[in-house]
């Protein structure tokens, strides 16, 4: 699964594909993005703007928020089988902006968090699904999302058996293209090439979403010698 990630860039290079929208929305870096937080996405219904949606999907047909299940992940292999996700694959897809994600490796000493990112350390996107839920009593509308996961690649597998679907720039365009068939969309949900990624252990401070500072990005080894 993917339960924590980062959007640590304060700004993007002028030539970056999201540079124009990014600085207007992502004002504060997030070093420990967690479920229920309001986080940046780009939807297939508004491809020109970055919007802030809550992480943890609330399907439109949910009657009561209290006690409602709010999945943060959707398994690529079973999207078609799940009522909560099947219709969203056809109509409500999004890009979830990130520049790394965290996973925990089980060791004899306990779970060790690792930061996983691209070797070039550039911003990338996860494939996501979104929905909107309206409170009938107040009229309030909540926009929420879930991150799609797939089997881990060779880099991530020693740490965890699942990883979020990371899209290439070319796949991003297809994921937001409303003319793609469900089969063509599902074909995009594959593990990102391991040779283009890197990973390293980080401090267990990342375990708590209350901790959110640049120090969380440091290697565990640098913490050990401070």
Residues whose CB is less than 8 angstroms from the CB of residue 105 and which lie 6 or more positions away in sequence, other chains included:
111, 112, 113, 114, 158, 159, 160, 201
> Residue 152 is part of a domain; what is its CATH number?
3.90.1680.10
Q: What's the number of domains the chain is made of?
A: 1
Read off φ and ψ for residue 166, nearest 5 degrees: -100, 130
Task: Tell me which residue range forms the domain holding 98.
Answer: 5-224
103 labelled catalytic:
yes
Please confirm, yes or no, whether 94 is among the known catalytic residues: no
Strand partners, 106: 111
Residue tagged active-site, from 94, 103, 172, 180: 103
The pTM of this model reads 0.95
pLDDT in tens, 33-66: 999 999 999 999 999 999 999 999 999 888 888 8
Average pLDDT over residues 81-89: 88
pLDDT at 81 over 70: yes
């Amino acid at each position: 699964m993917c339960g924590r990630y980062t959007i640590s860039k304060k700004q993007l290079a002028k030539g970056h594909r999201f540079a124009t929208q990014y600085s207007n929305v992502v004002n504060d870096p997030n070093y420990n993005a967690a479920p229920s937080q309001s986080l940046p996405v780009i939807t297939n219904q508004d491809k020109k703007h970055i919007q802030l949606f809550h992480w943890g999907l609330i399907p439109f047909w949910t009657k009561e928020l209290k006690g409602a299940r709010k999945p943060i992940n959707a398994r690529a292999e079973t999207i078609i089988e799940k009522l909560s996700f099947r219709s969203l694959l056809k109509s409500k897809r999004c890009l979830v902006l990130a520049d790394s994600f965290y996973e925990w490796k089980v060791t004899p000493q306990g779970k060790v968090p690792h930061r996983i990112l691209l070797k070039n350390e550039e911003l990338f996107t996860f494939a996501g699904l979104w929905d909107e839920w309206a409170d009938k009593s107040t009229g309030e509308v909540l926009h929420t999302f879930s991150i799609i996961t797939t089997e881990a690649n060779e880099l991530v597998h020693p740490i965890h058996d699942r990883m979020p679907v990371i899209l290439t720039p070319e796949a991003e365009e297809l994921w937001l293209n409303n003319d793609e068939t469900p089969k063509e969309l599902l074909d995009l949900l594959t593990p990102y090439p391991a040779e283009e990624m890197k990973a390293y252990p980080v401090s267990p401070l990342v375990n708590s979403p209350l901790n959110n500072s640049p120090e969380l990005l440091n290697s565990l080894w640098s913490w050990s010698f401070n």
